[in-house]
């Protein structure tokens, strides 16, 4: 018999004579001559109840079907007399597939702390909270591809191993086949696998620019890595980035795309994961629905960096870091603008060139670049991007000004020689999106198996 998942069984339009459900026991309640099994298979938030009487096949093993055990139940799908559930299974047979030791199984019917659940990441996805979170993550990933596919974007699989530092921060993981038990002089890189120093990528942007200048509209969506020794709730060593790039586009097109993408993702998850989002709105962040509604209901505010700094200086707020023209906005500044001043998403643009990357297009004022950040409540920056510098002479001058090795970017510069065109793009941190969608405040809790300093478990 073909197995039916719990979500499909609970959504059935009518009773069924025969149904087979396989999953894990959440609870078991015994009565004289029968037992109630609450079963979940991860397909939805709700459990399905199976009523197993002593005449059912396999009832002799019912005492071993503890919380966490894997079971199969075959029987009739019938209307449930209990409150809060439309259907239940009247079991004809039940099979114990995999036992769970009752004395040592760490997940019981009580609330566990996030810190404890991080220590058992191999089991935490069985809880209501994390089951819901990773369904949302899966659905949001699908929505990313759906958004770009419906708009004619090419999906590019950019390299994970690279020799260039897109962000220029130098916080990259070295990849090598050399014997690290021996001191390695710099010239030893010539003997390495690639014949040069290799690193895990911090961004797919540079690759996306190549294909934008041949295919017009592209995006990458994959893992990126930062060797940043930071143990904060917002940083991880491995995370996923959504990075679109569009040719014949300027900073305004970039802002439009970022706003459209964010609205699409929020709408998709609210539509497809309503029950899961409601769990977070009830138990994690009671302001979650208001935050998400604010993203959907009105256009994003757009203001130049200079105006943002003036708002911060006149706010009367005491910030840990004083806002001044020429300094980057801190998370506290970003959240004030989005949460308190505008009470909704804000796009800040035209940043000072000294605080932005070499590839961002310089504005005519000589002081700023066509960069933009999308700021949202609770998170701060969720999207960062720019119009790229398409003028060869200006880009070369900027590389030299910053003391970068132009030979590492020869191909990037050459793109400006052969059919250069205005183009723009951005990066959206997928994990920050998930924090926005769920109200979760620690990035470790939206990643199935987080990688952070001194932590490489599972």
Residue 264 CA to residue 260 CA, distance in Å, equals 6
Other CB atoms within 10 A of residue 290 CB = 12
30, β-bridge pairs? 35
Residue 442 CA to residue 458 CA, distance in Å, equals 19
Residue 4 CA to residue 56 CA, distance in Å, equals 20
What pLDDT score does 15 carry? 95
What pLDDT score does 407 carry? 86
Q: Could you say which residues of the chain have pLDDT below 70?
A: 165-170, 186
Residues near 6 by beta carbon (within 8 Å), at least 6 away in sequence = 21, 23, 39, 40, 41, 43, 44, 46, 47, 48
pTM confidence score: 0.93
Residue 311 CA to residue 134 CA, distance in Å, equals 38
Cα 179 versus chain centre, distance: 35
Task: Look at the block and give the residue holding tokens 């052969």.
Answer: 418
**Torsion, CA 254, CA 260, CA 263, CA 267, rounded to 10:** -150
What pLDDT score does 83 carry? 82
Token duo for residue 110: 């009580």
Contact yes or no for 369/350 (Cβ under 8 A)? yes
Contact yes or no for 58/95 (Cβ under 8 A)? yes
Residue 318 CA to residue 312 CA, distance in Å, equals 10
Token duo for residue 152: 């004619």
Residue 283 CA to residue 437 CA, distance in Å, equals 14
DSSP 56-112: SBTGGGGGG--TT-EEEEEEEEEE--STT-SEEEEEEEEEEEE---TTT----SS--
Backbone torsions φ then ψ of 4, nearest 5 degrees: -110, 135
Contact yes or no for 417/90 (Cβ under 8 A)? no
Residue 434 CA to residue 448 CA, distance in Å, equals 12
**Torsion, CA 255, CA 347, CA 241, CA 130, rounded to 10:** -130
Contact yes or no for 26/64 (Cβ under 8 A)? no
End-to-end CA distance of the chain: 35
Cα 47 versus chain centre, distance: 26
Token duo for residue 306: 């200079």
Residue 183 CA to residue 126 CA, distance in Å, equals 45
Residue 365 CA to residue 348 CA, distance in Å, equals 17
Helix (H, G, I), strand (E, B) or coil at 125: helix
Residues near 404 by beta carbon (within 8 Å), at least 6 away in sequence = 168, 358
């Amino acid at each position: 018999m073909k197995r039916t998942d719990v979500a499909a069984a609970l959504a059935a339009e009518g009773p069924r004579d025969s149904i087979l459900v396989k999953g894990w026991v959440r609870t078991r309640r015994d009565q004289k001559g029968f037992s109630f099994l609450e079963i979940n298979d991860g397909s939805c938030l709700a459990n399905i109840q199976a009523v197993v009487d002593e005449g059912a096949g396999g009832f002799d093993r019912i005492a071993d079907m503890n919380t966490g055990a894997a079971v199969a139940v075959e029987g009739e799908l019938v209307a449930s007399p209990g409150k809060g559930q439309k259907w239940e299974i009247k079991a004809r047979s039940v099979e114990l597939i995999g036992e769970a030791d009752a004395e040592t199984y760490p997940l019981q019917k009580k609330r566990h702390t996030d810190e404890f659940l991080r220590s058992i990441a191999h089991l935490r996805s069985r809880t209501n909270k994390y089951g819901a979170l990773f369904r949302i993550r899966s659905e949001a990933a699908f929505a990313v591809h759906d958004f770009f596919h419906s708009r004619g974007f090419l999906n590019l699989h950019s390299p994970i191993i690279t020799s260039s530092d897109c962000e220029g921060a130098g916080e990259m993981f070295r990849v090598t086949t050399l014997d690290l038990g021996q001191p390695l002089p710099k010239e030893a890189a010539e003997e390495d696998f690639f014949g040069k120093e290799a690193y895990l990528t911090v961004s797919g942007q540079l690759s996306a620019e190549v294909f934008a200048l041949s295919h017009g509209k592209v995006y990458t969506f994959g893992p990126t890595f930062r060797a940043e020794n930071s143990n904060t709730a917002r940083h991880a060593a491995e995370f996923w980035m959504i990075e679109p790039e569009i040719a014949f586009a300027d900073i305004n097109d970039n802002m439009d795309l970022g706003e459209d993408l964010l609205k699409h993702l929020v709408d998709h998850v609210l539509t497809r994961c309503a029950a899961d989002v409601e769990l977070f709105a009830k138990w994690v962040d009671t302001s979650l629905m208001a935050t998400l509604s604010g993203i959907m209901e009105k256009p994003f505010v757009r203001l130049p960096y200079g105006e943002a700094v003036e708002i911060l200086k006149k706010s009367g707020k005491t910030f840990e870091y004083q806002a001044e023209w020429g300094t980057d906005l801190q998370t506290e500044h970003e959240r004030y603008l989005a949460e308190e001043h505008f009470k909704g998403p804000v796009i800040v643009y035209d940043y000072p060139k000294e605080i932005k990357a070499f590839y961002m297009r310089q504005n005519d004022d000589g002081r700023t670049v066509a960069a933009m950040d999308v700021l949202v409540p609770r998170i701060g920056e969720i999207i960062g991007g720019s119009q790229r510098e398409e003028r060869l002479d200006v880009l070369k001058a900027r590389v030299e000004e910053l003391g970068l090795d132009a030979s590492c970017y020869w191909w990037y510069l050459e793109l400006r020689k052969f059919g250069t065109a205005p183009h723009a793009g951005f990066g959206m941190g997928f994990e920050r999106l998930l924090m926005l969608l769920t109200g979760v405040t620690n990035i470790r809790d939206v990643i199935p198996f987080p990688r952070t300093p001194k932590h490489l478990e599972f």
